[in-house]
């Protein structure tokens, strides 16, 4: 049987880790709850070397890609936490059968059973 308090603790730790990583590459969007945006470089320095600007743009592109990935992971964690609160955690969203305990231990934010896993 799945230990819900233990899973919830793991999910909350993962949420804190993801939010910390997101804060390093972006910032919360104050207009949309739960949305993050990558931090843009300051390219308004007229004395900046063009190579420095290019490096800043490259860094922004890396941060933008990482932000999207981290935000998606955070959304999955939030969905799992909401399901715990609603009492629906651990049910496959496709077939509604219980998700295997081993799968939930390996991936506490899993939304599907092994038979219906994506990718």
Residue 110 is assigned to a structural domain of this protein: no
Residue 116 is assigned to a structural domain of this protein: no
Confidence (pTM): 0.77
Residue 114 is assigned to a structural domain of this protein: no
pLDDT in tens, 76-112: 999 999 999 999 999 999 999 999 999 999 999 999 9
Residue 33 is assigned to a structural domain of this protein: yes
Residue 103 is assigned to a structural domain of this protein: no
Number of neighbours of residue 8 by Cβ within 10 angstroms: 16
Residue 62 is assigned to a structural domain of this protein: yes
Q: Are 52 and 44 in contact (CB under 8 A)?
A: no
How many structural domains comprise the chain? 1
Residue 108 is assigned to a structural domain of this protein: no
pLDDT in tens, 21-47: 999 888 787 777 777 777 766 556 666
């Amino acid at each position: 049987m799945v230990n819900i308090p233990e899973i919830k603790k793991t999910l909350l730790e993962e949420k804190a880790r993801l939010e910390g990583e997101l804060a390093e590459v972006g910032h919360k969007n104050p207009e949309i709850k739960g949305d993050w945006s990558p931090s843009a470089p300051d390219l308004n320095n007229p004395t900046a070397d063009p190579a420095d600007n290019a490096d800043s743009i490259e860094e922004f592109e890396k941060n933008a890609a990482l932000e999207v990935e981290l935000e998606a992971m955070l959304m999955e964690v939030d969905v799992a936490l909401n399901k715990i609160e609603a009492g629906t955690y651990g049910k496959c969203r496709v077939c509604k059968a219980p998700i295997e305990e081993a799968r939930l231990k390996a991936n506490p934010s899993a939304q599907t059973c092994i038979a219906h896993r994506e990718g």
